[in-house]
């Protein structure tokens, strides 16, 4: 795990509370499964049909029949259940997921999310993200603050195809944490060693700064 991803995962796991039903999106979010405290009663749901995901398996103990939505091998906790895709999306669309933590390619200052495709690149489909941003009770997006070119992924307006409009409740990057409220986008935390000025300089979006920082 890169240092930036480690920072994001360490902060993102704090969003998971005891007793929650949580969906972890593909990519960085799946790394959170290994960081959830052992004394928490948390059920992780994968839209390909598994409720009760455990940590990643140790090398040599992988079961090719146990995979998450990102086609990574996972483990199943005692009491886990398996079901078809229709049942899985009934859980999501029925509002039974307390928290969805999703990766992002871009997030706008309005809380719009783009995370399912880059034009011109082959994709197998949009996955379950559009259902999750509509059906989950709370949506947290985690991503690196800038792309490989050093350009801000926290945009004034998303340039990539949208997954959902005004669906993000909280954004966590390797630099900062933002909330999206009726008052707009608000910077509520900076990561260790990061100044507000650095966040401003690396963010295209306009935002307010919480007085508690």
- Summarised one tens digit per residue, pLDDT across range 158-203 is 999 999 999 999 999 999 999 999 999 999 999 999 999 999 999 9
Active site residues per annotation: 47
On the question of pLDDT at 126 being above 90, the answer is no
- Summarised one tens digit per residue, pLDDT across range 70-108 is 889 999 999 999 999 999 999 999 999 999 999 999 999
Burial of 120 (0-12, 13-18, 19+ CB in 10 A): exposed
**Structure tokens given for 138:** 């709370």
- Summarised one tens digit per residue, pLDDT across range 129-158 is 999 999 999 999 999 999 999 999 999 999
pLDDT attached to residue 1: 67
Question: CB count, 10 Å around CB of 36?
Answer: 18
- Residue 121 to residue 134: CA distance in whole angstroms: 25
Phi-psi map region of 90: left, alpha, beta (phi>0 left; psi -120 to 50 alpha): alpha
Query: So where are the chain's domains?
Result: 3-209
pLDDT attached to residue 119: 77
pLDDT attached to residue 108: 98
Question: CB count, 10 Å around CB of 165?
Answer: 13
What architecture does CATH give domain 3-209? 3-Layer(aba) Sandwich (3.40)
pTM here? 0.95
């Amino acid at each position: 795990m890169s240092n930036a991803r480690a920072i994001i995962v360490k902060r993102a796991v704090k969003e998971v509370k005891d007793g929650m039903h949580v969906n972890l999106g593909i990519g960085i979010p799946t790394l959170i499964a290994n960081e959830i405290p052992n004394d928490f009663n948390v059920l992780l749901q994968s839209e390909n049909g598994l409720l009760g995901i455990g940590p990643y398996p140790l090398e040599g103990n992988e079961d090719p029949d146990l995979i998450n939505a990102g086609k990574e091998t996972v483990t199943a906790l005692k009491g886990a259940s398996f079901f078809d895709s229709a049942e899985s999306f009934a859980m999501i669309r029925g509002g039974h997921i307390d928290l969805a933590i999703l990766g992002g390619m871009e997030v706008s200052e309005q809380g719009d999310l783009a995370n399912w495709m880059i034009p011109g690149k082959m994709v197998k489909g949009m996955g379950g993200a559009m259902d999750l941003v509509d059906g989950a009770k709370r949506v947290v997006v985690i991503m690196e603050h800038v792309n490989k070119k050093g350009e801000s992924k926290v945009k004034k307006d998303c340039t990539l195809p949208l997954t959902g409009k005004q669906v993000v409740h909280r954004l966590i990057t390797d630099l900062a944490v933002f909330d999206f409220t009726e008052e707009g986008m608000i910077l509520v935390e900076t990561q260790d060693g990061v100044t507000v000025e650095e966040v401003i300089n690396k963010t295209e979006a306009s935002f307010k700064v919480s007085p508690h920082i």
